[in-house]
Amino acid sequence: MKCTICNQKAALHLEHHNLALCSDHFPEWMCKQTERTIQKYSMFRRDEKLLLAVSGGKDSLSLWDILWKLGYHADGIYLDLGIDQGTRYSCTSGEMAQAFAAQRGLNLTVLDIRAKYGESIPEMGARTKRGHQKPCSQCGLVKRYLLNKAALDGGYDAILTAHNLDDEAAFLFSNLTHWSMQYLGRQHPLLPATTGFARKAKPFCLLYERETTAYAYLNNIAYVYSECPYATGSKQLRNKTYLNRLEDEQIGFKYQFYTGYLRALEAGAFPAGQETPEVLEQYRCTNCGQPTLSDGLCTFCRLVKKN
Ligand code: FES
Ligand code: ZN
Ligand code: ZN
């Protein structure tokens, strides 16, 4: 197959766009698509200070590379979750993130959760009923809290994450199967800043995982290949498998599924959820001052204070 633009050998066939691109034109296309998504949802500007959550994986490192090439000012933050038992997952991903930042002269903050809060994510999970075997929900809570705190403390205009279309379609599938109205009301690629919460944006939300993987590969980006060991057998991975089957049968399925949902969301089909500014004005965590939904400690402080 030939590149649609230059007729050289194509490196990737983007069937849902009816496009084949060579190893020169595909990375260019990725930069253009990312810029288009940033503009489409008015995510952020070049004069703003951005904080990117960097995991050491293909998505976050590819996004950092593209933002850098597009002239955006994004610092990185790597949360060392302490998931190392038998896998060195956190160690390896941290090394990848640091090597990437050093090669390009980019700023990366490393936050070691065990050093700062006395316990790794698996240790925090082990103290809870549900996190005993898989600490994923505690991990999600800690990541959301610490990213937000780092953005607010560091005076950043927005937090960026590198969730891709496959991630978003799988979240959406899960939210729809449970009719989680609270989440369905907020799965937008841009969440504006609100009381105590920084703006959040997902510039890769319309790009397939195979595209971000190909970008990392064609740009010689060294990234951690393995998934978090706790992801094995997770609902999110199962949902991805189901959606891959649908995509195989119907090219562009995930894109239609997610963009159709975004149109419905923008048309007001799903309410905004309970975390409205009015509700968040009511209570502040008695330890950290973060807005919460009830009196006392916020969920993060309850977790790390071992209550
Ligand atoms: Fe958090 Fe796996 S438990 S990344
Ligand atoms: Zn070409
Ligand atoms: Zn708190």
pLDDT single digits (tens) 62-73: 999 999 999 999
Give the closest ligand to the alpha carbon of residue 292.
3
Whether 228 and 261 share a structural domain:
yes
Distance 228 CA to ligand 1 centre (A): 6
The tally of domains found in the chain comes to 2
Place of tokens 């071992």: 306
Q: 204 to each of 19, 60, 141, how far by Cα in Å? A: 19, 9, 22
- What is the per-residue pLDDT across 247-305, written as a single tens digit (0 to 9) for each? 999 999 999 999 999 999 999 998 876 666 666 778 999 999 998 888 899 999 999 98
**Cα distance from N-terminal residue to C-terminal residue, the chain:** 60
Whether 36 and 65 share a structural domain:
yes
Domain hosting 278: range is: 274-307
Closest-CA residue to 108 (of 175, 68, 51): 51
Of the chain, the percentage scoring pLDDT greater than 90 comes to 81
Whether 156 and 72 share a structural domain:
yes
Whether 240 and 94 share a structural domain:
yes
Tokens of 141: 């809570």
Helices (H), 105-192: 113-117, 121-126, 136-153, 165-177, 181-184
**Any idea what the CATH number is for the domain that residue 47 is in?**
3.40.50.620
Positions in the chain whose pLDDT score sits under 50:
none
Whether 161 and 280 share a structural domain:
no
Whether 197 and 221 share a structural domain:
yes
Whether 258 and 300 share a structural domain:
no
Asked if 255 and 247 count as a contact pair (C-beta separation under 8 A), the reply is no
Q: Which atom of ligand 1 is nearest to the CA of 135?
A: 3
pLDDT given at position 130: 76
pLDDT given at position 175: 95
Instruction: Categorise residue 296: left if φ over 0, alpha if ψ from -120 to 50, beta otherwise.
Output: left
Whether 180 and 266 share a structural domain:
yes
Domain-located, residue 15: no
**Residue among 80, 81, 90 whose CB has most ligand 1 atoms within 8 A, to mutate:** 81
Domain-located, residue 114: yes
Distance 6 CA to ligand 2 centre (A): 4
Whether 84 and 233 share a structural domain:
yes
Nearest residue (by CA) to ligand 1, atom 1, is 139
Domain-located, residue 104: yes
pLDDT given at position 273: 64
Distance 126 CA to ligand 1 centre (A): 13
Whether 300 and 215 share a structural domain:
no
Domain-located, residue 156: yes
Nearest residue (by CA) to ligand 1, atom 3, is 136
pLDDT given at position 144: 96
pLDDT given at position 274: 60
Q: What is the rounded CA–CA span in Å between residue 139 and residue 61?
A: 21
Whether 299 and 266 share a structural domain:
no
Domain-located, residue 284: yes
Q: Which residues line ligand 1 (CB under 6 A)?
A: 81, 121, 135-136, 139, 228, 230-231
Domain-located, residue 296: yes
* CA triple 51-99-63, angle to 5 deg: 40
Whether 164 and 307 share a structural domain:
no
**Residue among 228, 236, 237 whose CB has most ligand 1 atoms within 8 A, to mutate:** 228
Q: What is the rounded CA–CA span in Å between residue 24 and residue 193?
A: 37
Q: Which atom of ligand 1 is nearest to the CA of 230?
A: 2
The chain-wide mean pLDDT, for the chain, equals 93
Distance 149 CA to ligand 3 centre (A): 10
pLDDT given at position 307: 52
